[in-house]
Amino acid sequence: MEAPFRFPIAGLADVERLLDVLAKSPHLVPGSLRLAEGRELLAEQLALEGRPEILVTVDKSGDFRELVRTLWKQPLHAQHPRFLRFNAKLSADQAAEFSMRIDVPTTGDWPRWVDLEGSRDPAALTRLRTVYASIGREAHLTLLEV
């Protein structure tokens, strides 16, 4: 299922601002933001490139902003993994999750948007749209419906 929403991004500053907003958002359970997909493949690629310490530092600090900044400043040589998925519990409905994907920066390509996951349930999709729109306003990003 293709992500039904996205935030276009111009560069690292947009992603850092988004992560800052997520860290403080009343829409998310504090401390619930996690790297839900792509970590193992990223660890393999960083090891191949001789930079395994990047994930060790992030694992200790939980600072995803630093991970994104490091990948932007020193992009991967190959897009392995293709993207990183971050999830967090929603404050209003802990059975539902905030979920975003961002392509991994490589020496040949840069992410142009953050994909935001949806739901097949129309009511849940409406709630997610509201949360995403609010987060987008706070982060000064435009929410697009795809």
Q: In this predicted model, which residue has the larger pLDDT, 116 or 109? A: 116
Q: Which residues of 8-42 are buried (b: 16+ CB within 10 A; e: fewer)?
A: ebeebebbbbbbebbbebebbbeeebebebbbebb
User: So what's the pLDDT on residue 39?
Assistant: 92
Predicted structure pTM score = 0.91
Could you tell me what percent of the chain has a pLDDT over 70?
A: 99
